[in-house]
Structure 1
């Protein structure tokens, strides 16, 4: 995408930059809406499944990944219309496609991590309230920062460090007062299991996001919508197959009919709850990969953390979750951490625009701009 900017004539720089910047923000807003709406609705529907009689962790994990077929029309359309090369001006940029074996390994690794994280998160959600689960799961931002530091050379500024500390503290505060955030009838031991599973799920999700960015840069090496759809479609396919194996191996499938008949809201509501959970998670997946593609895996996690207030408010309204002082403090810290990271992103964008403007003006005046050695 940067090649397109560099190859444009000087008298078209401003116009093209403004147009592409507008399109970039449109894609960003759509991805952020998908992440926030998809995550909030999927988490609440997952809690509804358990609250009304659902007991199958493998089923709850399966619906987190099985929604990928709804992307098939877009995937086929993108595959048929996507060019093999990107032409900008008189310059043609041809990227060698990775081998079938390499792509299969990439999608299988990501699919395994997604399957593992989905099962752990479904297990954790069965023992935690929706609001508690959401706050604990925000710890994935800290894990993503750690993984991105080693895999993607993520730079840590004071604002990013402040954001990570605040979000991490907000997620672990509840561990010191489990009694106020436990579900009725859930023992302390099961609450602890739910807490541990949720933290491990957050770590697995963070690793999959960081690896997605790493694989995009090192192996896939394509910056187009088709590559993003490939990533979502095939990693979800592998994850669904792995979870399906676990579903049959565990024997959970044998009790599905009885669970459907005993569901408090009825059979139709049982099917609709699982269906819309699958669709919601797929919307989240689309938005997440879009944010990774456009910005970074760390920014995707920050947007996920921003969904905390949505889940908190709706959990109180729908499930009558307790909103004590500890949860309020944790939520405020999470929002503060998000604002801190967004401000750093604003500073980076402002510096980038200033630098590009200075360089373009210098080039237009015939001045050669050289950067000092680092």
Structure 2
């Protein structure tokens, strides 16, 4: 199994000791399971988030908060992890890793960036039809390639460059389309442009976050086990949640929550279920992200996240009656093309890495008398 994990990572990435103990079918089963978590969680969270706004919700800070507030769910995997694994690989072990103070600074900085990123996503989802929003988010893979090149020494091949151009063009196509603002009368052209800019900014920030996390693993923590990855997710989500709570009270939006609760079009119970559902869905997606970072890499995790984007507009048309005009269809096809181009590059890298491992193994075996 070490060949598979090596094949999906850049040569400078850290190997995961736990994944090397998995059998071939176990590794693939876990990868598929985490892909399903990510796709289902991201799709459900985006659709429920749109439903929240569509049915009378209006708090951007509450929408931001619920994206990370249910992070305690991530403590559940610790129940199934061996105690020795936790103690030996914990990122707070000062004898073999960075100091608690250094990790606190890193997690705080990342958490604040995550909070700002979630706020931009909340504005984007409020001011854009969900189909347009999800397609614009496809640009995150292009940004990921750029940040990974500068921060993580990722190779910039013609296929990656092709993916960057296509995904950027897909987002730009929606930005200049007059009809992409959708049917709602309360969404003015100015709000649409603001939503477009903030969603692109959020996509870039999300990609930066993943690259910074990978850089932290490589340069600071210098080990990447499931426990360490979970710790990073939990602590950064804690900081992001605290920042969102401060924003919620500082902005005064908390005063309007009782009225929002009372006036929710589908009723009070539906309001609670929607808010909790969004939080749970984002944590399910987070588990998928964590799992794919652990089993493969952060770049692959982002690529799978992009795979959900063509799925969301289809459900948006079915459940929210979003318009799917020719420009959106073209943008979706271009985004899929860009994603396939990126994925094919990962496939080529995987074949090359496995061949290199086989050649090394054969040379090693031949040298044994």
With the length of structure 2 as denominator, give the TM-score of the two structures: 0.89
Q: Do 1:50 and 1:126's aligned partners in 2 also have CA atoms closer than 8 Å?
A: yes
Q: Do 1:127 and 1:194's aligned partners in 2 also have CA atoms closer than 8 Å?
A: yes
Q: Do 2:110 and 2:209's aligned partners in 1 also have CA atoms closer than 8 Å?
A: yes
Alpha-carbon distance, 1:336 to partner: 1.2
C-alpha separation in 2, matches of 1:322 and 1:141: 25
C-alpha separation in 1, matches of 2:113 and 2:26: 32
Q: How does 1:145-294 map to 2 (within 5 A)?
A: 145-185=145-185, 186-294=187-295
Alpha-carbon distance, 1:137 to partner: 1.3
C-alpha separation in 2, matches of 1:203 and 1:17: 32
Q: Do 2:134 and 2:309's aligned partners in 1 also have CA atoms closer than 8 Å?
A: yes
Partner of 1:10: none
C-alpha separation in 2, matches of 1:112 and 1:20: 38
Other structure's SS at 2:322 match = coil
C-alpha separation in 2, matches of 1:258 and 1:195: 29
Alpha-carbon distance, 1:79 to partner: 7.6
C-alpha separation in 2, matches of 1:178 and 1:202: 22
Alpha-carbon distance, 1:19 to partner: 4.9
Match of 1:50 among 45, 53, 60: 53
Alpha-carbon distance, 1:295 to partner: 3.1
Alpha-carbon distance, 1:81 to partner: 4.2
Greater RCO (Cα-Cα under 8 Å, separation 6 or more): 2
Change (3 A) 1:79 1:125: farther
Q: Do 1:140 and 1:202's aligned partners in 2 also have CA atoms closer than 8 Å?
A: yes
Q: Do 1:65 and 1:281's aligned partners in 2 also have CA atoms closer than 8 Å?
A: yes
Partner of 1:327: 328
Q: Do 2:2 and 2:20's aligned partners in 1 also have CA atoms closer than 8 Å?
A: no
Match of 2:34 among 20, 31, 35: 31
C-alpha separation in 1, matches of 2:172 and 2:35: 25
C-alpha separation in 2, matches of 1:294 and 1:168: 28
Change (3 A) 1:343 1:362: same
Partner of 2:13: none
Other structure's SS at 1:189 match = helix
C-alpha separation in 1, matches of 2:283 and 2:21: 31
Residues 176-185 or 243-252, more deviating = 176-185
Q: How does 1:2-41 map to 2 (within 5 A)?
A: 19-41=22-44
Uncovered stretches (5+) of structure 2, i.e. residues with no partner: 7-18
C-alpha separation in 1, matches of 2:335 and 2:95: 40
Q: How does 1:289-368 map to 2 (within 5 A)?
A: 289-366=290-367
- Give aligned pairs, total: 351
Alpha-carbon distance, 1:331 to partner: 0.8
C-alpha separation in 1, matches of 2:65 and 2:88: 37
Change (3 A) 1:230 1:19: closer
C-alpha separation in 2, matches of 1:253 and 1:127: 20
Q: Do 1:182 and 1:191's aligned partners in 2 also have CA atoms closer than 8 Å?
A: no
Partner of 2:107: 107
Alpha-carbon distance, 1:76 to partner: 5.6
Q: Which runs of 4+ in 1 moved over 6 A?
A: none
String of CA shifts for 1:157-213, please: whole Å, max 9, x gaps.
122221222122112210111333334111101111111111111111111111111
Alpha-carbon distance, 1:362 to partner: 2.3
Change (3 A) 1:256 1:357: same
C-alpha separation in 1, matches of 2:80 and 2:294: 20
Partner of 1:124: 124
Uncovered stretches (5+) of structure 1, i.e. residues with no partner: 7-15, 87-93, 369-374
1:64 aligns with 2:67: yes
